[in-house]
Amino acid sequence: MDMEKLVALCRRRGFIFQSSEIYGGINGFWDYGPLGVELKRNIKEAWWQDMVRNPPPGPDGEEIAMVGLDCALIMNPKVWEASGHVGGFSDPMVDCKTEGCKGRFRADQLATSVCPLKPSRAPGQHDKCQLTEPRTFNLMFKTFIGALEDASALAYLRPETAQGIFVNFKNVLDSSRLKLPFGIAQVGKAFRNEINPRNYTFRSREFEQMEIEFFCHPDDSMKWYQYWRDVRIKWYTKLGIKSDNLRPREQGKEELAHYSIGTTDIEYLFPFASEPQELEGVAHRGAYDLTQHQQHSGKDMSYFDEDAWLREKDKYPEAEAAKEAKSKPPYRFLPHVIEPSAGADRFTLAVLCEAYAEEKVGDETRTVMRFHPRLAPIKAAILPLVNKEGMPEIARKLYQDLKRDFNVFYDDKGAVGRRYRRQDEAGTPYCLTVDGQTIQDHTVTIRDRDSLKQERLPLAEVAGKLRELLRP
């Protein structure tokens, strides 16, 4: 697939624009246009429906308990000290002092970076290159709270959504009265001051995460790790990533983060890369995060297993012994956490790459975005064949009726074949055409984007048919 063609289509059709484009743009930031915002929103809503409101049954067929959060972008800076981001969330970087370059690059990615000097080479490969020694560069964006810009007012834009969930663990537990195992989910923005943002929207400085922290008993944690790994892989294939480009990979011991017991990277082979790139990480984080926040905040983050206690409380007839037993394992402990963490922007880009196709139809080549119908920005287009003989009035009424339940589009400009092509590029799965026969028997033509097959359908059955076709 030609990545340049996809980028051009995304701009032309209103999927993705460069942020602040009229001022020359700003590296690492992107805006989603009318079609792009619908596509990304559909992705987030599908994730929320399938993972939070209606997650698949657990390993033993049990119902999964899941609730949501929406945490602040700016938190107490002590959160990031406890999580390790202040001290350890950094990349090695080098600067080039050469006039005409003045570039900044990650030291561990020089071989795959591009120097702005011509001809294009990797940094350090030109005779003029003057690279500094590597130095650490913290990836968090700094800001200040209040009127003064001093150390007492320093804060950070969150680099991930996970920590908001961990610091609210007890709040959720106390307000919801949940029992292990259960999950807390969040969809939200995060910010990382990437040294070298690149590859379109894949590596950006502002991005959106879809994240779950699933809390469970330590003895059951590996079972839940395998469960979430399998669930998340299946979710991508369910939504149209069915090619060999989707490649789950278990991290080797040398790759694991210091807190991780095990991590699976769900990767996708993008057209711009020679190796698969991460869409999502499913990590077994153990009790690391709750332990850190318990130590740094001085607050008890433990879980009391009331059911286990009630089963065994008769073992402690003495009041003092019973009180002491309740405060210690096996009844009180820090849960282990399984974290499926997906990038909404990265999956949106993967969906765009997977959907893009060019094919011969008769004597012409059509460009078509084969989105899964559930993700398609526009679900159906309503097209009067001509703007006369009562067809626009019927088409308008059909459009008004359908838009109550579906995101539909009305188009009466140009030849119907040209309108079909516009909807193919937008990824619209179905087109409904009002023609001369509609006037006679109250039926319309429904055209399938992928097969190009057409069939007639009574006007009264259109809404039901669309609902059936779009059902998850």
pLDDT on residue 255:
85
3-class secondary structure, 180: coil
pLDDT digits (tens, 9 = 90+) for 275-300: 899 999 999 999 999 999 999 999 99
Six-digit token pair at 82?
């406890």
CATH superfamily label, 32-83+147-351: Bira Bifunctional Protein; Domain 2 (3.30.930.10)
pLDDT digits (tens, 9 = 90+) for 88-146: 555 566 667 776 676 766 666 677 777 777 776 777 777 778 777 666 667 889 999 99
pLDDT for residue 160 is more than 60: yes
pLDDT on residue 270:
92
Q: What is the CA radius of gyration of the chain?
A: 27
pLDDT on residue 237:
93
pLDDT digits (tens, 9 = 90+) for 387-399: 898 999 999 999 9
Q: Are 90 and 193 in contact (CB under 8 A)?
A: no
Query: d(Cα 35, Cα 376) in Å, to the nearest integer?
Result: 9
Handedness of CA 22, 345, 451, 365 (dihedral sign): positive
Element holding 364 (H helix, E strand): strand 364-369
Query: d(Cα 426, Cα 162) in Å, to the nearest integer?
Result: 34
Q: Count other Cβ atoms within 10 Å, centred on residue 287.
A: 20
pLDDT above 90 coverage of the chain, percent: 74
Query: d(Cα 399, Cα 416) in Å, to the nearest integer?
Result: 17
Query: In Å, what is the CA distance from 213 to each residue of 47, 168, 182, 235, 341?
Result: 14, 11, 9, 17, 8
Query: In Å, what is the CA distance from 119 to each residue of 96, 106, 207, 412?
Result: 16, 20, 32, 49
pLDDT on residue 14:
95
Q: Write the DSSP string, 448-468.
A: ETTT--EEEEEGGGHHHHHHH
Secondary structure letter of residue 461 according to DSSP: G
Q: Are 391 and 375 in contact (CB under 8 A)?
A: no
Q: Are 430 and 467 in contact (CB under 8 A)?
A: no
User: What mean pLDDT, rounded, does the chain reach?
Assistant: 91
- Indicate the residue type of 328: K
Query: d(Cα 10, Cα 340) in Å, to the nearest integer?
Result: 29
227 vs 126, higher pLDDT:
227
pLDDT on residue 91:
59
Query: pTM for the complete prediction?
Result: 0.88
pLDDT on residue 274:
86
pLDDT on residue 317:
85
pLDDT digits (tens, 9 = 90+) for 420-470: 999 999 999 999 999 999 999 999 999 999 999 999 999 999 999 999 999
The answer, yes or no, to whether the previous bond of 59 is cis (omega within 30 of 0) is no
Range of weakest confidence among 218-227, 238-247, 302-311, 349-358: 238-247
pLDDT on residue 176:
92
Q: Are 349 and 199 in contact (CB under 8 A)?
A: no
85 vs 367, higher pLDDT:
367
pLDDT on residue 441:
93
Query: d(Cα 256, Cα 36) in Å, to the nearest integer?
Result: 34
Q: Are 346 and 270 in contact (CB under 8 A)?
A: no
What is the chain's length?
472
pLDDT for residue 164 is more than 90: yes
- Indicate the residue type of 9: L
Looking up tokens 């006037």, which residue turns up? 439
Q: What is the largest CA-CA distance in the chain?
A: 90
CATH superfamily label, 378-470: Anticodon-binding domain (3.40.50.800)
Q: Are 267 and 247 in contact (CB under 8 A)?
A: yes
